[in-house]
Amino acid sequence: MRRVGRGVCRFDSCLLTFTMVVTFTMGINRETSSRSRAALTVASLGLATDALVYGMAVPVLPKIATEHGSRPLGVGLMFAVYAAALVAATPAAGLWVDRQGNRRPLLAGVAGLAAATALFAFARDPSLLILARALQGAAAGIVWTAGLALVAATHGPTERGKAMGIALSTFAVGTLLGPPLGGLLAGWFDPRVPFLLACALALADGAVRWFLVPADTGPAVRGGIREVRGRPGLGLMALLTATGAALIAFMEPILPLHLFTTENAGTGEIGLVFGAAGVAAAIAPSLAGYALARFSPGVVAGTGCVIAAVALLLLGGPLDGVVASAAGLALVTGGASLVLTPTVTVMSQIAESRQPPVYGAVYAVYTLAYTGGLAVAPFGAGWAMQGFGFDGAARTAAAVAALLTVLVVAWGRRRPARPPADPVETAAGKSSGANLS
């Protein structure tokens, strides 16, 4: 166990070092203030930790639950309660952020995550495991909302796209590393060791937040999500966000089944296929951030829709074999990331369309839309595959992505292009509605 403890400390240090290196070197110029860099480090580390802990639980939690008397329905409930708690906590998190700033919500979120992982490691009762899963979901809703709001509040319009791309890239890295790390640690040591590591990561993340999160991140406002209801562009941004998340999740339940039956692929090969998608998810947001400095959000998001649609058509047609499927899935994931990064940037413009800005409420909407896409897509994919087969399901998803491209183009033509808002004007409350064109 001493060796495990030393490994935990090293992993904590490596994750923090990686996040800080990414934050300080990937597209953030020398003129960016230390306050902005600290905020981006906190948000990136928070999203990476959340994704890593979530992924570590996927291969391990069912084993622990069944060992202590849970039936398949109970295990399913344990996974479903995560999304339910996230959805329930997100609106309250947005209101909290707008009223009291980001510091308290971020600290509360990491405290909830640490408590959840400790329960996973030591609880024996299935009901306590369900409680831990609910805590984990609520903590994720708080961290996503407060973390993205913190980045938006501390970066000007010219740097915001790159900053959001970096934050989403670190989330993708956590998603990529979590499942294999959890599975390996459980196999080498004990099923509870991954959660001990996760708890240590949460505590280390909490220490970083304690020292780096600014105490004052904007004026207090009231109204919550109701404050942003009806703002121009919000509905389309929520739709884009949900669709981008759905594109990522759509293939998760059906591509493995397709490869099992047509290619006789094993679980290791399936893992490599989704690992390729994880690499694409880690790279694409930063590329989208750079693209946003040169092209409008509508162009970047529309390009992502086209890439995803073409890749889905190829997966439902000429692409055969494990390697080709991995390449196709990586293209779908990369296209989805090109959709999601502009939306998270335009959301900040919507928050600033009236003063004082309501970052918490807007990013609560973003988190809810993202969660909705992740939740709906697997059911839709299963239904489509059962009715039309794998090829038909992939073509159906391609049609949805193509339709979204048309919506993005139509929106861009409806709204006149305007130059990026001046940071001084934005702070003074002179900037107007969000612009996707």
Q: With 60 as the cut, is the pLDDT of residue 317 above it?
A: yes
Q: With 90 as the cut, is the pLDDT of residue 135 above it?
A: yes
Whether the bond between 285 and the residue before it is cis, its omega within 30 degrees of 0, is no
Looking at residue 1, its amino acid is M
Confidence of residue 259 (pLDDT cuts 50, 70, 90): confident
* DSSP assigned state of 155: S
- Whether 179 and 53 have beta carbons less than 8 Å apart is answered as no
Q: Which two tokens stand for residue 77?
A: 């409930």
Rounded to the nearest integer, the mean pLDDT of the chain is 77
pLDDT of residue 162: 79
Q: With 50 as the cut, is the pLDDT of residue 416 above it?
A: no
Cα-based distances in Å from 363 to 84, 358, 402:
18, 9, 26
Q: With 60 as the cut, is the pLDDT of residue 69 above it?
A: yes
- Using only the alpha carbons of the chain, give its radius of gyration: 21
Place of tokens 């495991």: 129
Q: With 50 as the cut, is the pLDDT of residue 23 above it?
A: no
Each residue's pLDDT tens digit, 369-392: 888 887 788 778 888 888 888 899
| Cα–Cα distance, 40 to 160 (Å, whole number) | 10
Average pLDDT on 243-264 reads: 82
- Whether 120 and 234 have beta carbons less than 8 Å apart is answered as no
Cα-based distances in Å from 169 to 42, 141, 300, 374:
14, 18, 16, 18
Q: With 50 as the cut, is the pLDDT of residue 333 above it?
A: yes
- Whether 281 and 176 have beta carbons less than 8 Å apart is answered as yes
Q: Angle of helix 322-351 relative to helix 234-262, nearest 10 degrees? A: 170
Domain boundaries, the chain: 2-220, 230-428
pLDDT of residue 274: 76
Q: Which CATH number fits domain 230-428: 1.20.1250.20, 1.10.287.610, 3.40.50.1370, 1.10.10.10?
A: 1.20.1250.20
- Whether 382 and 250 have beta carbons less than 8 Å apart is answered as no
* DSSP assigned state of 420: P
pLDDT of residue 75: 66
Domains 2-220 and 230-428 are alike in CATH topology: yes
Angle at 189 between CA 183 and CA 191, to 5 degrees: 55
Q: Which CATH number fits domain 2-220: 3.90.930.60, 1.10.8.60, 1.10.10.10, 1.20.1250.20?
A: 1.20.1250.20
